[in-house]
Amino acid sequence: MSANNPAENETRLRVRYAETDQMGVVYHSNHLIWFEVGRVELLRQMGFSYRDLERDEGRFIAVAEVKCRYRAPVFYDEEIVVRTRLKSVRESVVVFAYELVRPSGETILAEGETTHIVTDSQMKTARLPKKYLDAFRAALGRHESRGRRERAASRKVSKQELS
């Protein structure tokens, strides 16, 4: 992941004793907590926080799906890097991808993805507020003003030009 990409973040953590089992290996659910740490830091890097989204906008980003592929064990007192990437965004869906690696970056410890549904305080699906949607799209390199219909029309024109 590139340090210059606004849609990516790297966060360093050290494994705490409480995060391990009797054998000194990190308990599997802690990977999901580390994904959240990375996600929160990515949002902070982009200039906003979950707290602001919830408090100021009345919007919540609920986890709808989690995937995690464990590739190598992680041990007590090891330093790890959580690489977090904004993978995609739609008006009410946000997807993040993750890698947990050793600081050398050579060993992938785990890979994952979370899909989030934007909701209001009643847990009804809602649209992401414009400033957040625009920031996510800008980080992904998309033009904020182009909607789904405009992109579809553009693809249709391109296909016709090829014919």
For residue 148, what is the DSSP state? H
- Write out the two tokens for 123: 């847990």
Q: Are 108 and 100 in contact (CB under 8 A)?
A: yes
The helix (H) or strand (E) run that includes residue 138 is: helix 130-139
d(C-alpha 44, C-alpha 53), whole Å: 11
21 is catalytic: yes
* Whether the Cβ atoms of residue 65 and residue 114 lie closer than 8 Å to each other: yes
Looking at 21, 56, 77, 120, which residue is catalytic?
Answer: 21
Closest listed residue to residue 45, CA positions, set 142, 135, 143, 137: 135
Position 104, amino acid: S
Active site residues: 21
